[in-house]
């Protein structure tokens, strides 16, 4: 349950329509949670920007404030609520500049009615499957004009008013024909598909915990201008991609209208049920953006995410993401490739593919080893330096996937595979399967097929029924596996998840949970310190990101073995032959020092 603080005793401020004198209302964004949520924010920003809104990085200047929320665990929900309340204050301050508050994302799917009941200053809500409805929520029409009669109601998904581009896409059309139709439409409208601009009120991709440094992160809201403002290009040419360099989908397959057999079965078993959620819509989210969807990039200029799929069919008993995001559904492969090509035109050199489970990609479209097929197609795109994919499922990391990683220099030798635990009994209760030996064999196989690969994983401690013996087995596994990047999270008892209904006597005391987490992180610290020492003397390609947030005396960068924002850092204390460095640029560097999780480098060229 989320806790709401009393904001004010004043009467609720009634939302008033924007005046016609303000044809370009200023919109500020706060994006919370994971990179998948960030892409949703970028899509909503793109829809607003391309239909008459102006984005602003200053909350005090925003007439409309959008908060894209996270609802994965209790701390995420509370952070979302606190951020909403903070933005409500902006609605009252600065002479009433902020006229509307829109709440979007996962919190809406879980607490749709409760949000508007307990925080009446919220004027509209937009669920995870209703991104195009952000226009109506902001009082805009697809033509880009303010809608002075907006009732602030969310339009049903699929209605013309809630749709930016209404194309009659038949199931018999090829990917190339669909892409060409959408590209032509955009060209006629004179609009760019992907822009870089001030991201508005931006807080994104920040982890809720920093387990590697054994501290919780509860960052105050940062009202900043996105690094995207420093982008060098804006992509003046609209997309024109026929998608003809990959095999077409089988006839009758249409992205977004298909599903995996596993998903259908689990739906029949009640996996996606939201009946107990107050105000949740009966229909599960089905939205998928594509390469013709306007998008504003808010990541540093050389990097971007591409969401290749949405939703999840897995039965994990600790998780409510399937209810929040709907059944697993893949984007068309040609659409992903077209988006990647357009991103590269904008100067993007690092692309990270994301989804709730990227290893399921394409199964609903008739592909076998769909992720490997997609990687083969993307890895050879001219101009791309680094290609990475996040969030894999252990039993779906295939030999072909690993061989594909090894084959292409552009694919980062980086495998993110959340294992969640090592005890067979705990994994069984989690409804995940596997055991310590199976996982050790997988890691050994990955290291054998992909030389130099780094492994990232995460574990949950304190899951109901976890005994001291289970914990010791996890401890022994971490010692044996020598994971490169590791996070340990404490179990969060989420209403709506199957584990929530487990007997109270199986629930592990919080003191025990916290103690186990601390011990595991101390163990990992020793493993990481030793591993990082072996980096010293190594020459690397380094993507420079800019001045360090910790001190003006250092700059920061990443190697291809560091995913954005979640892994350790490479600090730069010597610019070598350069007077200064350019953020978003690749340099050759040498590792000169190592610490527990971070390393220090000097620029060579």
Torsion sign over Cα 336, 339, 343, 345: positive
Which residues contact residue 568 at a Cβ distance below 8 angstroms, ignoring those fewer than 6 apart?
Answer: 212, 485, 528, 532, 562, 597, 598, 599
Query: What pLDDT digit, counting tens, does each position of 323-333 carry?
Result: 999 999 999 99
Length, in residues, of the chain: 605
> What is the C-alpha separation between 6 and 296, in angstroms, rounded?
34
3-class DSSP string for 41-91: HHHHHHHHHCCCCEECCCHHHCCEEEEEECCCCHHHHHHHHHHHHHHHHHH
**Of the candidates 516, 544, 126, 67, the residue with the CA atom closest to the CA atom of residue 350:** 544
Taking residues 258-280, what's their average pLDDT? 84
Q: Is 334 helix (H, G, I), strand (E, B) or coil?
A: helix
Mean pLDDT of all residues belonging to the chain:
80
Taking residues 533-554, what's their average pLDDT? 93
Residue whose entry in the numeric block shows the structure tokens 């067979």: 424
- As a whole-number percent, the residues of the chain with pLDDT over 70 amount to 77
pLDDT of residue 13: 30
Q: How confident is the model at residue 96 (pLDDT cuts 50, 70, 90)?
A: low
CB atoms within 10 A of CB 232: 11
Is residue 545 within 8 A of residue 558, CB to CB? The reply is yes
pLDDT of residue 143: 58
pLDDT of residue 258: 72
Alpha helix positions (H), 93-192: 106-118, 134-137, 175-189
Helix (H) or strand (E) holding 307: strand 303-307
**50-59, 109-118, 245-254, 571-580: least confident range:** 245-254
Taking residues 247-254, what's their average pLDDT? 36
- Pick left, alpha or beta for residue 348 (phi over 0 → left; psi -120 to 50 → alpha; otherwise beta): beta
Cα separations in angstroms, 566 against 187, 249, 318, 533, 563:
37, 35, 22, 20, 6
> What is the C-alpha separation between 399 and 442, in angstroms, rounded?
10
Q: Which of 62-71, 287-296, 370-379 has the highest mean pLDDT?
A: 370-379
Is residue 216 within 8 A of residue 329, CB to CB? The reply is no
Query: What pLDDT digit, counting tens, does each position of 515-528 carry?
Result: 999 999 999 999 99
Query: What pLDDT digit, counting tens, does each position of 124-145 carry?
Result: 999 999 999 999 999 887 755 5
- As a whole-number percent, the residues of the chain with pLDDT over 90 amount to 59
Q: Is 540 helix (H, G, I), strand (E, B) or coil?
A: strand
pLDDT at position 155 over 60: no
Q: How confident is the model at residue 116 (pLDDT cuts 50, 70, 90)?
A: confident
Is residue 461 within 8 A of residue 516, CB to CB? The reply is yes
Q: Is 488 helix (H, G, I), strand (E, B) or coil?
A: strand
Q: Please return the burial class of 406, using the count of CB atoms within 10 Å of its CB with bins 0-12, 13-18 and 19+.
A: middle
Record the tokens describing residue 412, joined without a space: 């980062």
């Amino acid at each position: 349950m989320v806790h709401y603080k009393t904001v004010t005793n004043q009467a609720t401020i009634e939302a008033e329509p924007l005046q016609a004198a303000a044809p370009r209302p200023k919109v500020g964004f706060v994006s919370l949670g994971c990179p998948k949520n960030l892409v949703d924010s970028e899509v909503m920003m793109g829809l607003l920007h391309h239909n008459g809104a102006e984005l602003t990085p200053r909350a005090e200047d925003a007439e409309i404030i959008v908060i894209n929320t996270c609802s994965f665990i209790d701390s995420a929900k509370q952070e979302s609520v606190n951020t909403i309340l903070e933005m409500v204050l902006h609605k009252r301050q600065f002479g009433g500049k902020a006229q509307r508050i829109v709440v979007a994302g996962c919190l809406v799917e879980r607490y749709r009615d409760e949000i508007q009941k307990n925080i009446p200053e919220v004027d509209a809500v937009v669920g995870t499957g209703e991104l195009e409805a952000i226009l109506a929520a902001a009082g805009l029409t697809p033509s880009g004009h303010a809608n002075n009669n907006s009732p602030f109601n969310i339009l049903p998904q699929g209605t013309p008013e809630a749709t930016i581009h209404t194309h009659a896409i038949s199931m018999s059309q090829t990917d190339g024909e669909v892409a060409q139709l959408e590209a032509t439409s955009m060209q006629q409208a004179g609009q760019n598909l992907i822009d870089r601009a001030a991201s508005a009120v931006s807080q994104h991709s920040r982890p809720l915990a920093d387990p590697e440094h054994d501290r919780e992160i509860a960052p105050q809201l940062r009202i900043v201008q996105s690094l995207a403002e420093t982008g060098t290009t804006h992509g003046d040419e609209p997309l024109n991609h026929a998608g003809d360099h990959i095999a077409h989908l089988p006839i009758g397959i249409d992205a977004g209208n298909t599903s995996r057999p596993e998903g259908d079965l689990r739906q029949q078993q009640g996996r996606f049920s939201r009946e107990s959620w107050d105000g949740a819509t009966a229909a599960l989210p089905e939205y998928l953006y594509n390469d013709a969807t306007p998008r504003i990039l808010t990541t540093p200029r050389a990097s971007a995410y591409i969401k290749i799929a949405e939703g999840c069919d897995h039965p994990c008993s600790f998780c409510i993401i399937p209810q929040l995001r709907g059944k697993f559904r893949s984007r068309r492969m040609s659409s992903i490739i077209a988006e990647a090509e357009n991103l590269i035109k904008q100067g993007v050199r690092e692309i990270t593919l994301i989804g709730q489970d990227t290893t399921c990609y394409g199964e609903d479209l008739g592909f076998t080893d769909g992720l490997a097929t997609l990687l083969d197609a993307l890895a050879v795109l001219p101009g791309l330096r680094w290609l990475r994919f996040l969030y894999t499922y252990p039993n779906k990391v295939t030999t072909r996937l690993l061989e594909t990683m090894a084959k292409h220099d552009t694919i980062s030798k980086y495998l993110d595979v959340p294992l969640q635990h090592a005890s067979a009994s705990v994994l069984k209760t989690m409804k995940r399967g596997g055991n310590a030996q199976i996982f050790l064999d997988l890691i050994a196989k990955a290291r054998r097929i992909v030389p130099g690969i780094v492994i990232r994983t995460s574990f949950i401690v304190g899951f109901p029924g976890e005994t001291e013996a289970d914990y010791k087995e996890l401890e022994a596994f971490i010692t044996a596996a020598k994971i490169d990047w590791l996070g340990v999270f404490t179990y969060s008892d989420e209403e709506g998840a199957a584990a929530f209904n487990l007997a109270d006597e199986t629930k592990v005391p919080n003191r025990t949970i916290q103690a186990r987490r601390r011990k595991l992180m101390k163990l990992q610290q020793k493993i990481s310190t030793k591993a990082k020492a072996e980096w010293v003397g190594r020459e690397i390609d380094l993507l420079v990101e800019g001045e360090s947030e910790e001190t003006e005396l250092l700059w920061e960068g990443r190697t291809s073995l560091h995913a954005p924002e979640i892994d350790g850092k490479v600090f730069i204390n010597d610019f070598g032959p350069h007077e200064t460095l350019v953020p978003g640029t690749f340099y050759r560097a040498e590792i000169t020092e190592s610490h527990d999780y971070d390393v220090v480098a000097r620029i060579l060229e």
